[in-house]
Amino acid sequence: MVNSRPGGRSALVSASLDCVVAEQGCVRDQSCMGHYRLLEYCAAEEAVSPLASDARLECLEAQHALQYYRPLQVCKCQRGSRREDHCLKVYWTVRFVQLLSHHSPIYMMNDILTCGPSAASSVSVDGQNLCLKAAQDCGLYEKCGSLRSEYVVACIKRSGLSDSGCNRQKCHKALRRFLERVPEEYSFALLFCPCSDTLCGERRRKTIVPSCSYEETVRGEERAGKPNCLSLHNYCSKDELCRSRFADFLQNCQPYPLSPSGCERESRAMCLKAYAGLIGTIMTPNYVSNSSTEVSQWCTCDGSGNEWQSCQRILNLFTSNICLRKYNKSGWSRGQQSQQRCPDFPIHAHLLQLFWGDPEATPGQLGDIVPPACPGPSTRPPPNRTCLQREPPQLAPFDVKEQ
């Protein structure tokens, strides 16, 4: 019986389990397979050229999710065997972090992400952890985890057919598929989770892989300037889907000064649904900071000439919309949150900058992100805290008996 959760297996796994066998078990588990297929793509792309920072973040989170699937973590390969090449490919695929660099602090990422002994008993669901909780719940629900992996791959995959670093059309289609097929209790919890700290806000901002779905890029670099909002709206008006979604947004998130709430329609749920409906269109909005109330489209009104006021009205529907601000600020609640065995710790901008050699990043920027060093073997970490192992993980793909 295969548990739908990667960490659902309780049986002890032999240290000499072949990685090909472990892979076969993983692909029969939908939750495990989604993360594994994403890591396969990550490893293949990283071998060609470095991935963008938000793409790497998704890859690192997929690797963390697979830590619960013990067979892939302990499997080995037999030197000289017929399946050696395939086996080694599996071994290194689930060790994406180590592939990035064997000589930098990135190799310690696994240990930073490993839960302390007391953290498994409960997960706090205060404002700082709801976005982590939403991501974890999505990963544990087969449809949500699978479709999320699908849109992440679509949005980080490079396209050779255009100047852009990705295929935005495929990215948008996969995002719409995710939002249309995944129950709102999971998808909206990811999009509208309330945040009260910088790291939570950054995680939420990157939910839709904005480097492809939101920002315009040329060969992985941001364009010199954003498109004009009027041009964006003009393109949208020529597309039936986008035109319909935008009209729905206007209807359900329309400000109205004479209303007690400031909104023409007193429905928070309908406004958030209409906002989410724009994601995956050319009018895709996103958070522009770590604040729940600061959202915008990827456009500007610079150069609008005598149409500046018309342009500003479109932009203000997102940046200065009292309805959207009010409803988005309160977030989306799934009600009673189920307990999980381990919080999904984030890896965000400051941490990644330090690990990836950003000359402007310093250890002081990490604040409370990096946990304290592990205590001695006779002591236990404090509740709900992780600790940083002093020794790097050992990389030994071959079975010791075969050395």
Per-residue pLDDT, averaged over 37-57, amounts to 82
Higher pLDDT pick, 187 / 389: 187
Q: Kindly report whether the global pTM for this prediction surpasses the value 0.85.
A: no
**Local confidence band at 123 (pLDDT 50, 70, 90 cut-offs):** very low
Task: Count other Cβ atoms within 10 Å, centred on residue 24.
Answer: 12
User: Is the pLDDT confidence value at 126 over 50?
Assistant: no
Range list of H helices, 141-207: 142-156, 168-181, 184-191, 198-205
Higher pLDDT pick, 79 / 52: 52
- Nearest Cα to Cα of residue 127 among 189, 61, 200: 200
Position 220 scores a pLDDT of 44
Q: What is the pLDDT of residues 273-303, one digit of tens each?
A: 999 999 999 999 999 888 888 899 999 999 8
**Angle between helix 229-237 and helix 308-319 axes, rounded to 10 deg:** 80
Q: What is the pLDDT of residues 321-340, one digit of tens each?
A: 888 887 766 555 544 333 33
User: Is the pLDDT confidence value at 47 over 70?
Assistant: yes
**Local confidence band at 8 (pLDDT 50, 70, 90 cut-offs):** very low
CA distance 141 to 235: 36
Kindly tell me the burial class for residue 356, based on how many C-beta atoms sit within 10 Å of its own C-beta (0-12, 13-18, 19 or more): middle
Give the least confident one: 147-151, 211-215, 260-264.
260-264
CA distance 4 to 225: 45
**Local confidence band at 45 (pLDDT 50, 70, 90 cut-offs):** confident
Per-residue pLDDT, averaged over 39-50, amounts to 82
Q: What is the pLDDT of residues 378-387, one digit of tens each?
A: 333 333 333 3
User: Is the pLDDT confidence value at 150 over 80?
Assistant: yes
CA distance 334 to 89: 39
* Percent of the chain with pLDDT strictly greater than 70: 66
Q: Which of 66-70, 311-315, 362-366 is the most confident on average?
A: 311-315
Position 395 scores a pLDDT of 55
Position 297 scores a pLDDT of 92
